[in-house]
Amino acid sequence: MIRRLLITLMAAFGVTVAHGQVKPNAPGADLIVHNAKIFTGNLAQPEASALAVKNGRIYSVGTDAEILALKGASTRIIDSRSRRLIPGIIDSHTHVLNESGYNYNVRWDGVPTLRQALAMLSEQSKRTPEGQWVKVIGGWSPYQFKENRFPTMEELRKAVPNHPLIVQYAYNRAFLNQAAMKAFGVGTDKFPALPGTEFEKDSKGNYTGIVDGYTFTYIAMETMVPQLTPAEEVSSLIQVVHNMNRFGVTSAVDAGNRGYPRLQANVDILARDNRFNLRMPFVDMQFGDGTPMNMVDAQINAITKTAPISPGDNLHPTLAHGLVYRGAGEVLHLDVHDHENFDRPAVIIPPEKWRELVDQDVTKLVQRRIPFRLHISYDENITSFLDALEGLNKKTPLNGLRWSIEHAETISAANIARVKALGGGIALDPKMALHGDGFIKTHGREKALLTPRLRKLVDSGVNVAMSTDAFRAATFNPWVGISWMVSGKSVSGSEVLAKDNRLTRSEALDLFTRRAAWFMHAEDELGTIAPGQLADFALLDKDYFTAPENQIKSIASVLTVMNGKVVFGSQDYSKLAPTLPAILPAWSPVKYFGGYYEAK
């Protein structure tokens, strides 16, 4: 009688009495890492030596004895051998999907001498097939080289005699050999007539191959070179993510690509097999087909008609914060893009242009509750934008809508306070680490030492984080930026940050972890090592907190875990790393040089 009553009650509440229909979790942790020096980022428990992971989340942090007691029959145990463990790095502004040509590029990131860089070009020239280009597109700086200079055109022509060659420095300058100039149509109507583009000529009036310009000059050139096949694009995406994982990066905000939804389809190919090893919320830009268009209208059309999606929707089938639409930007109108070319004077945009942008375009986003990000480098432009945004806020309140200024290199203390009052964020970047020497030549040392106002930004309480702004404007290695924030030195060794404008090591790391989580809408789940947090962390090859300052920029991960899964392993942990497919194409520079310089 009692048994029948129990069965009746369980049926009424939808509880099954059949055995084997629900597989219970196996007892014990899925993964335990012990014998570690853990920087938790959690004020309630700043340090620990071990952690346990279950179902993709951290569920216990403590001593080795406490955590090893949670071992079950199927638990994977990893001995860190007293290495430093940190939360997974969050890059709050980068351009992953725009880097679809990664496998075609010779990456000079981190190469210590120009001699080695030129040797890489010469070697690659010999294996590049006819019809293809030899390319170096961004991520490097002449100030990183021992020689502390740009290559000469003679050196470049000698290195690559038989293929079109483009070597691009950030979004500032490009070096083209004769074959590349011919292919681009330099000096003819074939080359896009974009404002600010200047072709250097010699004393006889001939083009030298050096092109100075702004962002859109180089974006246009990138569309005029051979493009990757769909399979090569997917292979490039795998390599981009793999090389980010190498530095402990587990999350990245894709801050504007060439138009949803085409490139997101490459992520879907990997996500379906649970092979996309990065949390990547994305912000979208729409460039259209070259005909006149309004970028915000095109954005609204893309997410309501082309491929309907709402802010906060996750396109990844299983991964939290995997491929989440986070709004519009970082460019909302081509007329208000104040290109951060530090080799040229600041681009100051008339205040009425900012007012027009806010009144006509930002208003549409606020009304539809679409978050937005806006590239603004210089304080004069930030002032004009905030003047207009404060006016909009009085008529149509932002009311908690997330928005941010990206880069903000020369932002003033007054404008930091205004951003905070409006509930916005500031996503900084490390361009001064790579290009600060150029900034000094253009704007002076005194201004450079306060660019950006790191100490003021951190102390103000505004939502602020550091990013890489990779892969063109700067390197994707976050440790270059961390080194600069701590030491105050650029990659050349020059002082580019005043002593009272630098950060402690924990503050600098905080800008790439806990504070960066706000820009993902994930501040309750990411950025620290604490129970309940998503299990993203990295074991480092050097102890960040004790390594000499000059070694910080060369730190890398030996074990990167994302969502409780090992996504990168080297040295003692190489056998734990996932097996990657063969790099496409077979002649790819990445196959032979890797995606980032590593001393042999």
Per residue in 106-125, pLDDT (tens digit) is: 999 999 999 999 999 999 99
Q: What is the DSSP string of 480-538?
A: HHHHHHHH-B-TTS-B-S-GGG---HHHHHHTTTTGGGGGGT-TTTSSS--TTSB--EE
Low-confidence residues of the chain: pLDDT under 50: 1-23
In degrees, to the nearest 5, what angle opens at C-alpha 239 toward C-alphas 310 and 563?
55
Phi, psi of 305, rounded to the nearest 5 degrees: -125, -50
HSE on the CB side for 98, CA within 13 Å?
27
For the stretch 62-109, pLDDT in tens is 999 999 999 999 999 999 999 999 999 999 999 999 998 999 999 999
* Region of residue 333 (left: phi > 0; alpha: psi -120 to 50; beta: else): beta
Task: Provide the pLDDT for residue 11.
Answer: 44
Task: Provide the pLDDT for residue 259.
Answer: 82
Task: Provide the pLDDT for residue 24.
Answer: 54
Question: Per residue, what are the HEC states of 431-470?
Answer: HHHHHHHHHHHHHCHHHHCCCCCHHHHHHHCCEEECCCCE
HSE on the CB side for 146, CA within 13 Å?
7
Residue type, 294: N
Phi, psi of 500, rounded to the nearest 5 degrees: -85, 10
354 C-beta neighbours (distance < 10 Å), count: 25
Distances, alpha carbon 181 to alpha carbons 125, 165, 176, 191, 211, in Å: 17, 9, 6, 9, 10
> Residue 202 and residue 440: Cα distance in Å, rounded?
27
Task: Provide the pLDDT for residue 289.
Answer: 66
Q: Is residue 538 within 8 Å of 529, Cβ to Cβ?
A: no
Task: Provide the pLDDT for residue 355.
Answer: 98
DSSP code of residue 88:
P
Return the structure tokens found at 404.
Answer: 């941010």
Task: Provide the pLDDT for residue 26.
Answer: 76
Q: Please name the helix (run of DSSP H) or strand (run of DSSP E) that holds residue 38, with its range, or none.
A: strand 37-39
> Residue 514 and residue 523: Cα distance in Å, rounded?
7
Task: Provide the pLDDT for residue 23.
Answer: 46
